[in-house]
Amino acid sequence: MRNRNAQLVTAARLARRHAHAPYSKFRVGAALLGRSGAVYTGCNVESSSYSLTICAERTAIFKAVSEGEHSFEAIAVVANTPEFTPPCGACRQVLLDLAGNIDVIMSNARGITSVVKLRELLPRAFSNKNLLKARRKR
């Protein structure tokens, strides 16, 4: 597991180099491990309108799904900050919907890592169960 985490962090660091962040200067890389063993990387890509910006985590998972991967084990997120950078709220929701309660490996600028389950970052999340309950009430 430790080796898996280190490999994902390295892949995320490499992906971070491709970030397009001319406005915020906040460059993020992500590496998502599929159950197949394949690793899908992503970086943040900013737009001048900001709302059209996409985060590294969503880039990685959309890339994976578009290539046919639908089961995941872990995602690493790397930013050049002294503290850990967790996925934003939108990314947490998308990851939970598409990947489930996977490990989230965060690594800071000093290379220190922290691993948490996605549900720890998004407790009481909205899910398909909420939609099913709404349909049954009709």
CATH of the domain at 56: 3.40.140.10
pLDDT for the residue 130: 85
The two three-digit tokens of residue 120, written as one number:
């720890």
- Per-run averaged pLDDT (10 residues), the chain, 138 residues: 93 98 97 98 97 97 98 97 96 97 97 97 89 67
pTM of the prediction?
A: 0.93
Tens of pLDDT, residues 101-115: 999 999 999 999 999
Domain of 109, in residue numbers? 2-136
DSSP-derived letter for residue 45 is: B
Amino acid (one-letter) located at 40? Y
Instruction: Please identify which residue in the block is written with the tokens 């990685």.
Output: 60
Domain count, the chain: 1
Active site residue 69: no
- Helix (H) or strand (E) holding 129, with range, is helix 128-136
At residue 79, the 3 state secondary structure works out as strand
The two three-digit tokens of residue 13, written as one number:
């660091």
pLDDT for the residue 134: 60
Among candidate residues 57, 67, 73, 120, the one labeled active-site is 57
